[in-house]
Amino acid sequence: MLDVISAIARFYMAYVWISAGVVKLNDHMNMTQAITAYEIFTPYWSDLLARLIGPLEIAGGVLLLLGIFLRPASKVAAGVMILFIIGVGQAWLRGLGIDCGCFTIEPNLDQQAMDYFVTILRDLAFLALTLWTVYRPFRRFAIYP
């Protein structure tokens, strides 16, 4: 049973990272606006992060999918998830009406902003799956466990 949980955690998080990164690849302007909306980074850093986040998410997902450096890749992914949770949480506390830019990028919302509570809960679930992979990686089908 633990192997099943480990397999689900590893492959589902690979899917999450790859699908999140693919959305960001060809939408640089909207991604920059989504990052700028957090009001944390300067325009220069928002632009740089918009260029880097998508490819890095895809790379992390591929590492999990192929089983290359499972524990180190999962530790980095856990750190990134914590940063995402902090970013969304600070936007919520400051009353910013933004889109997180996670799986769809709509920085100029005509409706209300995202549901911060649900987004943080989702990210906490992703963090739990990622930490499970750190604790007990699914090594079957791994190139380098």
| Residues in contact with 108: Cβ distance below 8 Å, sequence separation at least 6, in sequence order | 33
pLDDT reading at 108 higher than 70:
no
Of residues 111 and 14, more confidence is placed in 14
107 within 8 A of 34, measured Cβ to Cβ: yes
Average confidence (pLDDT) over 66-80: 92
Give the Å distances, CA to CA, from 43 to 33, 85, 108, 127.
9, 21, 17, 28
Give the Å distances, CA to CA, from 4 to 7, 8, 34, 36, 113.
5, 6, 36, 40, 36
Q: Which two tokens stand for residue 47?
A: 């632009």
Average confidence (pLDDT) over 105-117: 67
Residues 18-35 have pLDDT tens digits of 999 998 898 888 899 889
Average confidence (pLDDT) over 117-124: 94
Confidence of residue 96 (pLDDT cuts 50, 70, 90): confident
Confidence of residue 3 (pLDDT cuts 50, 70, 90): confident
What pLDDT is attached to residue 86?
95
Of residues 47 and 100, more confidence is placed in 47
What does the alpha-carbon distance between residue 67 and residue 107 come to, in Å, rounded to a whole number? Answer: 34
If you search the block for the tokens 């943080």, which residue do you land on? Answer: 120
Of residues 108 and 15, more confidence is placed in 15
Confidence of residue 144 (pLDDT cuts 50, 70, 90): low
